[in-house]
Chains A and B, each alone.
Chain A
Amino acid sequence: MNDITPSAPKSRLARIIDSDIFYSYRTSPVAIVSSIVATVLILAAVFAPWIAPYDPFNPRTLNLMNGFTPPMSESFSGSFFLLGSDHQGRDVFSAILYGSRVSLMVGLSAILFAMLLGVTLGLIAGYRGGLTDTIIMRIADVQLSFPSILIALLIFGIARGIIPPNQRESMAIFVLIFSIGLSDWAQFARTVRGTTMVERQKDYVSAARIIGVKPVFILIRHILPNVLGPVLVIGTIGLALAIIAEATLSFLGVGVPPTQPSLGTLIRIGQQFLFSGEWWILFFPAITLVLLALSVNLLGDWLRDALNPRLR
């Protein structure tokens, strides 16, 4: 009966190990190193409560006498500080662990929010075309002509004005996520719109239209999986940018509340002491931010090259 007998399908794991993406990963030292660095930083942030030697935000454990202890040394009261302590006697190492937790959480949520918004609008603009497309893309164009940090500041300011003062503290993180996310959606929308316009022309979409599949389902089930490649790439690079945006906002003092310091807050605190010789308070949070952003960015770069056969 069957004149063509294909080999049995491979298991999922075998398929991944055998894939071109995984091969490109194995042969790229940059990808391997940056993924290790990113994984270590992310794991350290996730497991901060178990790793951190001190709880930097419990005022009872703070001892002002321990202030300004240099790295790798014992303080006045006999506590050991791996990366030194700040002016309040807070362990810098523990503060960094908790700080990157906040930074990562905000960055990740913001970029997921931007992705959701941008991909949805991009799909609609690309599929509908015409007036819908014009309206959505003009808004995106206008937004892209402002620096995104300015947009984030603007949205942040408006949001603070709307929220009643007694809830500001608890809402601050969500406002931050919302404002960074809203300043970043246009990139996704542009890319997705372009790819959608190409995919919409393909015959598999016509085949679905012939049997009367609703446009929503065509977009979600047919086109979306085919536009996700580039989204993943700008998502990864965007994650690094979102982490930096959060740090910038916190550095400017408009970000997370002081009770939940992020890497940006730590840098802001640290820079007050840079010229009085207590360099470690600034240096270690800053280097963590650089490593985190750089490794995520390099991973994004590698992913873009690996997914684009023309650059191979």
Chain B
Amino acid sequence: MSQPVLSVKDLSVVFHLRRGDFTAVKSISFDIMPGEVLGVVGESGAGKSMTGTAIMGLIDPPGEISSAAITLNGDRIDGLDEESLRKIRGRRIGMVMQDPLTSLNPLFTVGEQLIETIRRHLPLNQDEARDRAIALLADAGIPDPASRIDSYPHQFSGGMRQRVVISLALAAEPELVIADEPTSALDVSVQAQIIKVLKRLCAERGVAVMLITHDMGVIAEAADRMIVMNKGEIVETGSVGDIINRPKMDYTIKLIEAIPSITAQNPRYAAAVAKGHSFASERTGDPLVVVENLAKQFDLSGSLLARITGRRKIVNAVNDVSFTIQRGQTYGLVGESGSGKSTCARMMVGLLPPSGGTVRLEDTDIWSKGAEKKRRSKIQMIFQDPYASLNPRWRVGEIIAEPMRALGIARKPGEIAERVADLLERVRLDPVSMRKYPHEFSGGQRQRIAIARALSSQPEFIICDEPTSALDVSVQAQVLELMSRLQEEFGLTYLLISHNLAVVRQMADAVGVLHNGNLVESGPVEEIFGAPKADYTRMLLDAVPDISKVA
């Protein structure tokens, strides 16, 4: 084969910190061939983004590239001065970043940004550059590019914006594109399209791509070859099919096993079928939570005047949603961003009064007068971001004890300490942890603390709003396993809200699909996933990138 587009030899990135040196990337070497898509996968802190940043020459002090030979089509590009590096970035290496909102300048139209980039790097005049920009946008799948070119970034949706970013990265005909989590901020349905666009454009132009992501599914869809990184080192390199189907290293095997698959049947359903029972009939008849015609409208009218004159702008966030959750079961609520999942959760937990409809817990309307006490003691919530859901100034013991104190479950300090220690053990943390602060724990450990806090008020019904989407896959598997075990132990009922369909299929007994505030479909998990009736559900399921699709 010809010479590689990018060749990295012995790259190390060291941060000189106060407590000694921290090596973020440990002497890694790899090549990318022309037209090849190289996937770099790893969990947070694996050094995958750092590798991309180092290739671009964007490591800032106290970081330092300690030893390396990075060559781009035969030219050494490490250790160049800032001026020469600037000529390489954009011209010879294009970049696609995670957040399309921040990688475009909000004050310029996308056309101005594209034309500027094209003219800086290519000898074209204004009109030629504009024609080229329109062609690029058309290639990236933006409808009506000739008029959209004069729009500002905020006038595009997230997915369209990411298409613009891809056109921008390809504007100067680079030899290599580094895409760092290009689809992580997008919904599944959009994610699939973006991956296709990126792959097609690069194949057409023979551009090599370094695709950095934490999502093995994305790699499986898009990449030819892949690198698995862990703690700054390369664990395994090989073709995507080889690694996913025949992983050699322990770390890779564990990583792949931890990924819930969208095609795997619900384990409890499978077990019931194996025993010859019917899954559905075994688990009906005792509803704990009944949601009827739930609706929420937000009034976005700006001024008082607009409200008086009646020019109101009302958004229906949730529209006439009804479903029932059986005692001891898990109901999964899936949908893309803006579908009203979290608004439903906030209405069901007592944070946001509904505009219409009822939420009944054991036949008590939780929003009726006098129901506060029942609501507070029986419903709990686990939040998405374990960094924001624990008060950083409180000790873990105080955090977990708060619901007991507030609801008067335990009052004596000795009794409280005993209960907190017990809860910590149940979520598999050392009881000594109660004297520490949240920042001393990792994301997964913090989520366990949040679970312990939710259990502290002895609830029957726990709403889990994206409980694992901020966590790495291996940690996600542990947290989900813990949640299932606690469900059996305490007979808990869960409402599991997630955009991750695979997680929902694995955990839920029944599922509801939300789309623009409407419940599109609702029913037993295997009916929805096995034989979806609504077009929207089918589209969602098809869009999920999955490692099992790799031959």
Contact = CB atoms under 8 A, between A and B. Distances in A.
B145 interface: no
Contact of A210 (B18, B351, B390, B393): B351
Given A4-B430, A225-B394, 4 more contacts: A6-B433, A6-B436, A212-B407, A226-B393
Contacts, number: 78
Given A23-B18, A211-B406, A212-B406, A204 B432 contact: no
B445 A4 contact: yes
Contacts of B127: none
Nearest to A207: B389
Given A204-B388, A212-B372, A225-B393, A1 B435 contact: no
A213 B391 contact: no
Nearest to B424: A2
B376 A204 contact: no
Contacts of B152: none
B445 A206 contact: no
Given A2-B428, A2-B429, A4-B430, A210 B389 contact: no
B299 interface: no
B372 A6 contact: no
Contact of A6 (B383, B430, B457): B430
Given A9-B432, A225-B393, A226-B391, A210 B383 contact: no
Interface residues of A, number: 24
A210 B432 contact: no
Q: How many of chain B's residues touch chain A, expressed as a range?
A: 35 or more
Interface of A: 1-6, 8-9, 20, 23, 202-204, 206-213, 222, 225-226
B385 A203 contact: yes
Given A4-B430, A210-B380, A9 B435 contact: yes
Contacts of B389: 202-204, 206-207
B262 interface: no
Nearest to A225: B393
A210 B389 CA distance: 12
B182 interface: no
Interface in B422-442: 425, 428-430, 432-433, 435-436, 440-441
7 contacts: A1-B428, A3-B428, A6-B432, A206-B351, A210-B351, A210-B379, A211-B402
Nearest to B393: A225
Nearest to A15: B437
A211 B391 contact: no
Contacts of A9: 432, 435-436
Contacts of A206: 351, 381, 383, 389
Nearest to A223: B391
Contact of B381 (A23, A207, A212): A207
Contacts of A208: 402, 406
B308 to A, nearest CB: 16
A212 B391 CA distance: 16
